[in-house]
Amino acid sequence: MIYRTRVMILAHGAKPGKEKIISSDKAAELLGNGWQKADLHVHTSCSFDVLSAEAMRPENLLRKGRFRGLGFVTFTDHDTVKAYDILGWGREDLTPGVELTVSDPVNVGHTVHINVFGFEREQYMEFALMAKQESDIYSLIDYFRSNDLPYIYNHPFWFPRGDIPNIPAIPGLVRHFPVIEYNMQDLQQKNLLVMALAERFNKGMAVTTDSHTGSIGKVYTLAKGDTFHEYFSNISKGRYFMMIDQPVWKHMTGELNSGIELAFSMGKGIREEAGFTTGMGPFDRLITFLGSDLLERRPLINNGAKSVLRHISGSGLPAFMYMLSKQPQVSRITRIVDV
């Protein structure tokens, strides 16, 4: 059944739990006293929408995560566990993870993304098949619970292109997740709405980079735990902090800049990366054009175009235009989900 009711999340005047957001200086005071940090949404070159650049290979991102001091490293590629087939299962320095795509036309009506952790390969095969064949999000949640698998509701107010969002269904769905994502690739207004939902239903939150360009650990969630399960359990119980040092638009600009640099480093190989996307359509087309044979044969024009693209990206204008284009959707969400 698809719910079409209007939902009150918080009484007017109430504020989300912004005290959970801390700076890197404050985070440094906690680390080393039993607190661990992790970035729970990171993509490698195994994802269809990530460039197959050397820097994006799982082994290189694992080293980068360790270098940045992450207590737990996990990769959440789209509907694949190839990163663990490459690196090996059962490693102490790596927690299995995946971003599962769930289409449930009856209970939800739009596509939902769920991050799942700590599973064995056989378990992944089971719940991935369930997601594909049964199209029942609540059956999947029952599976995660019965197998004691940590799981997160990713970017609740992000919707794939072509989907018709069933916004009123989202608060009811949040009730069934232990942790909700604060996603640095999504708009600040949406993250604040998610934060309000999490507080309303007493859920934990985890801030993530959702990086497709190797920015693992630029933000992270802190909680105590000698094991990943202990760490995640403390997040779900509200014993956590989210380290965020810069606003969402700056993070989005940094992600775009990194994507451009990766694309340039690959040269004309970018033409074969059909799934790659920055999330900003005009820039995707321009980056692909820069990797074409036409400009490869004209290096002066190519270098000039690259310089202009870097300048435009670094100005923050693309991120601003992207956020502006999403304002009608934010207004609609706010009207339906009353905060």
* Sign of the torsion angle spanned by Cα atoms 275, 221, 81, 100: negative
pLDDT of res. 265: 72
* Domain spans, the chain: 15-245, 250-325
**Whole-number pLDDT of residue 13:** 35
Q: What's the CA gap between 281 and 322, in Å, rounded?
A: 10
Least confident of 12-16, 97-101, 307-311: 12-16
Average pLDDT on 261-266 reads: 75
- Residue 28 CA to residue 16 CA, distance in Å, equals 24
CA distance linking residue 303 with residue 262, whole number of Å: 15
Please state the pTM of the whole predicted model.
0.86
Q: Are 228 and 117 in contact (CB under 8 A)?
A: yes
In the predicted model, what is the mean pLDDT of residues 70-74? Answer: 98
Report the first-to-last Cα separation within the chain, whole angstroms: 24
Q: Are strands 241-243 and 21-22 parallel, antiparallel or unpaired?
A: parallel
pLDDT for position 272: 52
273 — pLDDT class (breaks 50, 70, 90) = low
Token digits for 166?
A: 């069933």
What pLDDT shows up at residue 278? 55
In this prediction, residue 252 has a pLDDT band, given cuts at 50, 70 and 90, of: confident
CATH number of 15-245: 3.20.20.140
Rounded Cα gap, residues 110 and 128, in angstroms: 18
- Tell me the DSSP string of 252-306: HHHHHHHHHHHHHHHGGGGGG-TT---S-HHHHHHHHHHTSHHHHT-HHHHHHHH
